[in-house]
Structure 1
Amino acid sequence: MKRQTLNRAALAAGGAVLAAGTLTTGISVAAPEHHKPHAGHGHTDRSSKPSKKQIAALFDGWNRALQSGDSRKVAARYASDAVLLPTASPQIRTTHAQIVDYFNHFLKNKPAGEKIRTIVNVLDSDSAIDTGVYEFHVTDPKTGRKSTVEARYTYEYEKRGGKWLIVNHHSLVLPAAG
């Protein structure tokens, strides 16, 4: 079976990156009704599937890496073949070096954030999607001016070698109400 994937344009972080990871609303999940295992993985045991809360918590680990100020720690949360469509750059990042480069620049803003709403879909024991809205609290490195950016996000995770990694991350500034 072909693995389900995200709309790569639906992942956006609105010009900033999150750090606090506080959920201000409950986790709502619309899990697919029909689950099929990945090819070669055999039967999917529902009990081996991660919980929605476990998947939502992966973001908290990413935020802690972000708060470290170390772009390599943040990039280590991404698979080697990950795609990053970042909030604060028009460039699609498809290599580890490009992801590190993005965070080298982004972390200068001392991003801190919080999830506002999250929707988790656990696809099977090795893949899940976390999508929603978050805010980034950033500080302009030149002026010291603080601001908040609200963004939509999508993280697609895969469990590889026993470790959950981001395979697709899309973040986009939330458009003005229209």
Structure 2
Amino acid sequence: MKTPRNILLAASLFFALAGLPLLASAACTPKQESEILALFEQWDASLATGDAARVDANYAPDAILIPTLSNEIRHTSEGRIAYFRDKFLPKKPRGKIVKHYVRCIGNIAINSGIYAFTYNGGTPHPARYTFVYRKFGEKWFIIEHHSSGMPEG
């Protein structure tokens, strides 16, 4: 008997099960994980140049940056360049991943965890991060980057 309740239950079950293959595919191969972790090293190397435009070249044109050292969300190349030029790069940052979790879903990869930055060669400052990457053709770009200080640190 097709009651509205049964139809709703069937539809809910269908959509719940339809998402299982997507969830199951979130694991990366070791090669994929290495490739994604290398993107952080590439980004950090671009910081070392001191060139804000070079740092921004890691980001897709419409990428969103939610930075540690500014309350302003940056969603344009101009905004990201201004942040790196005026707020972040003058501190001569160097980053290192402390703990990471990498997930791969098709042409999207997510790297979340804790990184630590030294500024002007000083002591490391830990922060939480999430980089979301999207592969366009053969090249990965950051499409979302969130960084925030440790709430208990």
Alignment TM class, shorter chain as reference: 0.7 to 0.9
- Structure 1 stretches (4+) deviating beyond 4 angstroms? none
Residue by residue over 1:35-93, the C-alpha shift from the partner in whole angstroms, topping out at 9 and shown as x without a partner, is 6xxxxxxxxxx99x961111111100001101111000000000001000001100000
Higher relative contact order (CA 8 A, sep 6+): 1
Equivalence map 1:37-52=2 (5 Å): 51-52=32-33
Q: Pick from 105, 110, 128 the counterpart of residue 92 of structure 2.
A: 110
8 Å contact from structure 1 (residues 50, 122) kept in 2: no
8 Å contact from structure 1 (residues 80, 96) kept in 2: yes
Segments of 5+ residues of structure 1 without an aligned counterpart are 1-30, 36-45, 140-144
| In structure 2, distance between residues paired with 1:131 and 1:161 | 23
Q: Pick from 125, 132, 144 the counterpart of residue 149 of structure 1.
A: 125
TM-score, length-scaled by structure 1: 0.68
The alignment covers a number of residue pairs equal to 130
The structure with the largest helix share of the pair is 2
Equivalence map 1:8-87=2 (5 Å): 32-34=23-25, 51-87=32-68
8 Å contact from structure 1 (residues 82, 167) kept in 2: yes
- Determine the structure 2 residue equivalent to 1:172: 148
| In structure 1, distance between residues paired with 2:98 and 2:77 | 28
1:34 Cα offset (Å): 4.3
Segments of 5+ residues of structure 2 without an aligned counterpart are 1-21
8 Å contact from structure 2 (residues 25, 105) kept in 1: no
1:148 Cα offset (Å): 2.8
Larger Rg computed on CA atoms? 2
RMSD (Å), alpha carbons: 2.3
